[in-house]
Chains A and B, each alone.
Chain A
Amino acid sequence: MDFDDTPDEAAFRAEARAFLDANRPRKDRARAAPRYGEVDAAELARAKAWQARKAAAGFAGITWPREWGGRGGSPMQQIIWNQEEAGYDVPYDVFLIGLGMCIPTLMAYAGRPVLERYVRPALRGEEIWCQLFSEPAAGSDVAGLCTRAERNGEDWVVNGQKVWTSGAHFCDFGLLLARSDPAVPKHAGLTAFWIDMKAPGVEVRPIHQMSGGSHFNEVFFTDLRLADRQRLGAPGQGWKVALTTLMNERLAVGEPRRPDIHDLIALARAVAIDGRPAIADPAVRLKIAEWWADSAGLAYTRFRTMTALSRGQTPGPENAIAKVVNAARLQAIAAYGMDLLGQAGAIADPALAPMAGLFQDGLLAAPGQRIAGGTDEILRNIIAERVLGLPAEPRVDKDMPFNRHAPAR
């Protein structure tokens, strides 16, 4: 075991840090908290500018081939970049889904002309991509989706509705999964496409979240025409394409959302219980210790993943672990932070609540974290079935033609 950089890694880290120092201020935890909310026009512009600058300097798509504008670097370089960038005040990453999930899927299934046209602008932050899988009646059960894609001569015509589309309101293109054959079992009747989000027949309506922002959207398709060249994979192979996309989701291992254990420690130092800092109270210490053990465990699990990645191994279920632990802990830490504030715990006013309302914001965001990108329940299924090898549940719906299912409600 060795936590030190190799000379090559150290050189790359120094290069990354020099670039970051020259371009961004350091992050300041004590300053106003990142609010869980919408990305406004100004933030979007900042995000695009930052992505363009990273791409120009060779820090976007670090592991991508040079042919597509990447650096052709190693997974360890990507990890080092992520570690370094996390220390700086950078705009909200609106490219995560596009660059982490959509473009890799395109690379696996689209023809060369499509890649020539779309990969570089995406990497430079000029065009943003979203993922259009979930539907009102197909959340956890993605393969239960109803949006129809019907052949019409050489083209396809799409009608239906998607939901929970992150960033659809500022996206240019999207990856669509639709039902092309309702007469076969549910997983067999799907086809994947890429679409232009600005095309006629696409309507985006932001969803107002309980946490205040509108990061997610409903997307409606009314006679949206797609050329057959927008198809990804063969007709009926859409589920396979979707699995490629979802597997790439695992690579995008994120930091835990705030308030995290460090924020709780900061709060416990700042507020008093019986005239002493809360962190001196044995009950508070016990809580912090237990969360610290989990937080440290997750951080070191990420190191295990990085090491595996750097050896060219495919990432395992670590992201399922991280998400299931982080989301529940976020909710618990946020609630406990409010508890430490006593009678003022329910104050959400950022001017009055400690740390600009970070704990109250986190409490309102936590339920979404437990749902979006795989619910707690689905993630436990994934761990149990794909990691531990426990048998799947008997499925009443799996082999039945989709159009003979009871209507999903």
Chain B
Amino acid sequence: MADSQIENMNVQPKVKLTKRDLIKHWLLGYSSETCYNFERLQALGTANAMIPIIKKLYKTKAERAKAIQKYMVFFNTEPSYIGTVIHGIAASMEEQAANGVEITDEDINSVRTGLMGPMAGIGDTVSQGIVYPILAGISCSLALAGNIFGPIFFEVGYKVIMLSTGYSMYMLGYKKGKTAVLSFLKAGTLNRITEIFSVVGLMVIGSLAATRIGIVTPIEFSVGEVGINLQKVLDSLLPSMLPLAATLGVWKLISNRMSPTAIIAILFVVGIVASLLGILAPLAQ
């Protein structure tokens, strides 16, 4: 990518996205999960959200077809709070590509795929691990006291946080994408950023795994007249061993390219059988 091209972009933009386009794109992103499915998760929804951007930047049907297709691939992130940053970056990359900067479809999709994982981990933790339980906890105590502000506070509070965070992240993505996209594509830089966010994402989903997978074993047996509670033995060895084992087991299945549907079927069978046999039980809360 020659310097001349950079100037090109700075000096003579042919098509420019307006604030209106960006807001449309951002808002449509909230329909990413409308036609939600196990095959490609948010692919169609994300493509749908790109429509205003693509219509603005490309005029012929062929160009539009080419542009929209790259969004039809598997995509999944936390879509409401944090993941919007990816859409912002995508919009700015499309804009620059349309203005002659040499950005390939692969460039765009590698940024999107690189960031979707960390943003999912972080976004889920923030939205569902922090904001939701705190707001819902407060609101429930209001509601149980018969106070109608309970649900209203929840609805308003949640949406205000969601939209303001989602908007800021989208715009951050667009801005950073605009100014940094060249360095972004420089070998290593994207990887580096992805890596850092992945570190954060990994730690927080580690924490989620430890708190949100609520299985224990109810096995108790007695050797002679001594009763042994297996869960206590396991805890004395390595606390919360079973949730970790479950996570790593499922991860193994995913690594072997088993489909989510198949894994869910397995979890059903394992869960039901293990429960009926008295091997697993839900953790009493």
Answer yes or no: are A and B bound together in one complex: no
Interface residues of B (CB under 8 A from A): none
